[in-house]
A and B are shown apart, each in its own frame.
Chain A
Amino acid sequence: MNRVASLLRQTRRPGRLGWTDILSYAYLALGVVLMFGPVLWLVLSSLKTPAALLEFPPSFLPLTQKTISVPGHAQPLELHRVRLPDGSVKELAQVRRIGIQATMIDPANPAAPAIRVPIEAREPIREVAFAWSNYTEPLKQFAFGRYFANSLVVTIAATIITLLINSMAAYALAIYEFRGKNAALLMVIGTLMIPITIVLVPVFLVVTQLGLNNSLWAVILPGAATPTGVFLLRQYMLTLPRDLIEAARMDKASEWQIYSRIVMPLTLPALAVLAIFSIMWRWNEFLWPLAVLTKSEVYTLQIGLNAFQGELQTQWHYLLAMTVMTLAPVALVFVFLQRFITTGIANTGMK
């Protein structure tokens, strides 16, 4: 227990590493392996050929059997390292294999008579090779491109709508005094308590009544008004100087102009945080699209990927590559906006 305790509150002394520091770094190193390892494994696996994926225990790098084209043979032949009866080791190409006997020829001298060796005496020569076709094939064979485009449309449209209506509501709740303001605030808090998990069936009914079934609007609209967004933006707008607004009113600016030309530009940092959140929510959304989208033309990426994992049980090579492609945009966003996202969350306590 003492160990844990001292680990928790000691600082690095200059020039000397205490063992508590070593323990901390060990914990962090373990964390790196545990957090990055699985993703790295996914990426490496996604570049393996189906044959390499079947291997057990799995190899770390994507390896494939090295082959060689030999004149006189239509197909490229597998290259093996063979221990010959006289004890010498030679690289030979395999012509065929019957049972435990393999027929090998010397690729450098294909005219020479073939040698028969037992299969234990040969060891396949392998090289690192990336199966890029795992990435290109799904784009051709499956509707992966369409799902990607659907997700893009949903994410962009929903984020624009969210930013617009949330900022307008936040503006009203931050700047004006009006009858029903408290009721409106209470309503916003109330919606915090009602996640989509609770209202799946009735929202499905509303969407059906609006005639939006199996259109992307069915995914875009229901989550567009977010209580978190209203709170985040209102909180930020409350800190803006009131004089600015009063001065604009003196200058005969309309309320819309004040909102759009003065308040919105000043709220950009908070809008950016909300935009990042919204993009994250929408790109990753699963339960609601799963319930409402039944036609595969309108599947989003997440729903498509989930459908593939049911259908492609035996085609992991495609599934893994598609998983990487789904993950890639998020990874890019993270690399560029990491600091922004983490401070945004630390400041608001939301995700």
Chain B
Amino acid sequence: MSQTGSPPRAIPRDSLASRLIQGIAGLADRPMAWIQHAVGGRGMAYVFLGPNILFFGLFVFLPIGINMAMSLTGGTNLFLSERPFIGGDHYRSLMQCGSYLDPASCREDHFWKGVSNTLKFTLFQMVAMVGTALVTALVLNRKIRGRGFFRAVYFFPVLLSPVVVALIWKWILQRDGLLNGAITLAGGEKILFFVEPGWAMFWAVFVSVWAHMGFYTLILLAGLQAIPADLYEAAEMDGTKPMRVLTRITLPLLWPNLVVVLVLVLIKAVQTFDEVFVLTGGGPGTATLMVVQYIYETAFANQVQNFGLAAAASMLLGSVLFALTMLQLWIARRKAA
């Protein structure tokens, strides 16, 4: 969260953006002066803070409370006053399982299928994402011609929308798509990537790594460039083997950034929805159904909208995220100390 490096160049004061701000701000001068007259100069702090906090309250904190209440009430009505209190029934039915290792034995089999898919996805994705981002950052950190260009190449998919990313790959991977064309030309058989569960999961991971690795590469690259160059010069003078330089200088000094990236990837992976949903629709069957998709469908897409059950499931997901974010903050503090 902290600003490293020098702040970007200031924009000239007479720029268009600057003049625009001044013009619009002028309109509020009068009313704001009255308010300041009423609350005093120090009271203005609350006036400035107010709108943002109001939004947070209305769309973040109040909803957390409502979510709790929703998860403890039943029925299909959205409004809390119309919902009967049922205690922990939703949680009980979510947790009711013959064996937690076998989603099919659970009462809410789709929820547990989602949990197991999300775990699988998270594990594969973390390894693939951090691995490729690290290698790419290390390569980009070398003295390479056209580094800016290559960095941009790896980064640009980050800006694409999940729907666009999913459609690009869906087109390539479809039955008569580019990849199957290449496989056929090489003498192979067409593969129905979205019909075979293993392939569907593989491409779900692949596509999400393709779309987001540039972002993590950028963070790792910033970390690599912060390593003092004289360390490498000293190592070169001593004739240290490159492998040793990597394991004794680069990786240990990059370690804090690597941990940050790992936790960030973890937090994002647990909430995976967009790309996979558009790419596979959770299929074949439920082979790539993630927890968030279960929540979305339970509340909004199914014939009977079970808001209570969805709220209960999101409370469980929320507690996992809470734990992960605490871990992240703890690591960030240790890094700062």
Q: Is A345 touching B48 in the complex (CB atoms < 8 A)?
A: no
- The docked-state distance in angstroms from the alpha carbon of A191 to that of B59 is 10
Q: Determine which of A193, A302, A343, A350 lies in contact with B163 in the assembled complex, contact meaning CB atoms within 8 Å.
A: A302
Q: Determine which of A41, A197, A205, A309 lies in contact with B278 in the assembled complex, contact meaning CB atoms within 8 Å.
A: A309
- The docked-state distance in angstroms from the alpha carbon of A62 to that of B145 is 34
Q: Which of B109-117, B192-200, B306-314 contacts A (4 or more CB under 8 A)?
A: B306-314
Q: Which residues of A contact B13 (CB under 8 A)?
A: 265
B285-314 at interface with A (beta carbon < 8 Å): 292, 295-296, 299-300, 307, 310-311, 314
* CB of B51 to closest CB in A, whole Å: 4
Q: Is there a chain B Cβ closer than 8 Å to A157's Cβ?
A: no
Q: Is there a chain A Cβ closer than 8 Å to B101's Cβ?
A: no
Q: Is there a chain A Cβ closer than 8 Å to B33's Cβ?
A: yes
Q: Determine which of B53, B64, B138, B218 lies in contact with A194 in the assembled complex, contact meaning CB atoms within 8 Å.
A: B64
Q: Determine which of A39, A169, A235 lies in contact with B49 in the assembled complex, contact meaning CB atoms within 8 Å.
A: A169
Q: Which residues of B contact A200 (CB under 8 A)?
A: 295-296, 299-300, 310, 314
Produce 1/0 per residue, B42-82, CB < 8 A to A: 10111011011101101111111111001000000011100
Q: Is B299 touching A201 in the complex (CB atoms < 8 A)?
A: yes
Q: Is B274 touching A197 in the complex (CB atoms < 8 A)?
A: no
- The docked-state distance in angstroms from the alpha carbon of A31 to that of B71 is 46
Q: Is A256 touching B29 in the complex (CB atoms < 8 A)?
A: yes
Q: Which residues of B contact A338 (CB under 8 A)?
A: 152, 155-156
- The docked-state distance in angstroms from the alpha carbon of A331 to that of B243 is 39
Q: Is B161 touching A168 in the complex (CB atoms < 8 A)?
A: no
CB contact under 8 A between A239 and B7, given known A8-B242, A34-B210, A165-B51: yes
Q: Which residues of B contact A201 (CB under 8 A)?
A: 66-67, 70, 299, 307, 310-311, 314
Q: Is there a chain A Cβ closer than 8 Å to B127's Cβ?
A: no
Q: Is B314 touching A204 in the complex (CB atoms < 8 A)?
A: no
Q: Determine which of A38, A205, A235 lies in contact with B168 in the assembled complex, contact meaning CB atoms within 8 Å.
A: A38
> Which residue on B lies nearest to A256, using beta carbons?
B32
* CB of A338 to closest CB in B, whole Å: 5
Q: Determine which of B11, B22, B157, B169 lies in contact with A269 in the assembled complex, contact meaning CB atoms within 8 Å.
A: B11
Q: Is B161 touching A326 in the complex (CB atoms < 8 A)?
A: yes
Q: Determine which of B61, B168, B222, B292 lies in contact with A197 in the assembled complex, contact meaning CB atoms within 8 Å.
A: B292
Q: Which residues of A contact B119 (CB under 8 A)?
A: none
Q: Which residues of A contact B160 (CB under 8 A)?
A: 284, 327, 330
Q: Is A56 touching B158 in the complex (CB atoms < 8 A)?
A: no
Q: Is B29 touching A198 in the complex (CB atoms < 8 A)?
A: no
Produce 1/0 per residue, B119-150, CB < 8 A to A: 00000000000000001101100111100101
Q: Which residues of B contact A135 (CB under 8 A)?
A: none
CB contact under 8 A between A178 and B45, given known A197-B273, A199-B67: yes
* CB of B16 to closest CB in A, whole Å: 11
* CB of B328 to closest CB in A, whole Å: 9
* CB of A317 to closest CB in B, whole Å: 11
Q: Is B245 touching A9 in the complex (CB atoms < 8 A)?
A: yes
Interface size on B, residues (CB 8 A): 120
Q: Determine which of A8, A165, A198, A225 lies in contact with B250 in the assembled complex, contact meaning CB atoms within 8 Å.
A: A8
- The docked-state distance in angstroms from the alpha carbon of A270 to that of B13 is 14
Q: Determine which of A56, A175, A198, A255 lies in contact with B314 in the assembled complex, contact meaning CB atoms within 8 Å.
A: A198
* CB of A182 to closest CB in B, whole Å: 13
Q: Is B55 touching A6 in the complex (CB atoms < 8 A)?
A: no
Q: Is A265 touching B22 in the complex (CB atoms < 8 A)?
A: yes
CB contact under 8 A between A28 and B144, given known A165-B52, A202-B311, A268-B17: yes
- The docked-state distance in angstroms from the alpha carbon of A51 to that of B41 is 71
* CB of A320 to closest CB in B, whole Å: 6
Q: Determine which of B56, B170, B246 lies in contact with A9 in the assembled complex, contact meaning CB atoms within 8 Å.
A: B246
Q: Is A206 touching B63 in the complex (CB atoms < 8 A)?
A: yes
Produce 1/0 per residue, B303-337, CB < 8 A to A: 00001001100110110011001000100000000
Q: Determine which of A35, A270, A291, A326 lies in contact with B157 in the assembled complex, contact meaning CB atoms within 8 Å.
A: A35
Q: Is there a chain A Cβ closer than 8 Å to B181's Cβ?
A: yes
Q: Which residues of A contact B219 (CB under 8 A)?
A: 345-346, 349
Q: Is there a chain A Cβ closer than 8 Å to B176's Cβ?
A: yes
> Which residue on B lies nearest to A34, using beta carbons?
B210
Q: Determine which of A165, A259, A260, A286 lies in contact with B55 in the assembled complex, contact meaning CB atoms within 8 Å.
A: A165
Q: Is there a chain A Cβ closer than 8 Å to B269's Cβ?
A: no
Q: Is there a chain B Cβ closer than 8 Å to A129's Cβ?
A: no
- The docked-state distance in angstroms from the alpha carbon of A319 to that of B45 is 50
Q: Is there a chain A Cβ closer than 8 Å to B85's Cβ?
A: no
Produce 1/0 per residue, B26-40, CB < 8 A to A: 001100110010000
Q: Which residues of B contact A189 (CB under 8 A)?
A: 329
Q: Is A27 touching B139 in the complex (CB atoms < 8 A)?
A: yes
Q: Is B11 touching A268 in the complex (CB atoms < 8 A)?
A: yes
Contacts A8-B139, A266-B10 known; 19 new A-B pairs at CB < 8 A: A9-B232, A11-B142, A12-B144, A24-B139, A28-B144, A28-B150, A35-B210, A38-B172, A58-B181, A172-B45, A172-B46, A201-B311, A202-B65, A221-B55, A222-B59, A255-B32, A284-B161, A341-B159, A347-B4
Subset of 5 A-B contacts with CB under 8 Å: A201-B311, A254-B33, A261-B22, A269-B11, A309-B170
- B residues near A (Cβ < 8 Å) are 1-5, 7-11, 13, 15, 17-18, 21-22, 25, 28-29, 32-33, 36, 41-42, 44-46, 48-49, 51-53, 55-56, 58-67, 70, 78-80, 135-136, 138-139, 142-145, 148, 150-164, 167-172, 176-178, 180-182, 184-185, 210, 215, 218-219, 221-222, 232, 241-243, 245-246, 250, 260, 271, 273-274, 278, 292, 295-296, 299-300, 307, 310-311, 314-315, 317-318, 321-322, 325, 329
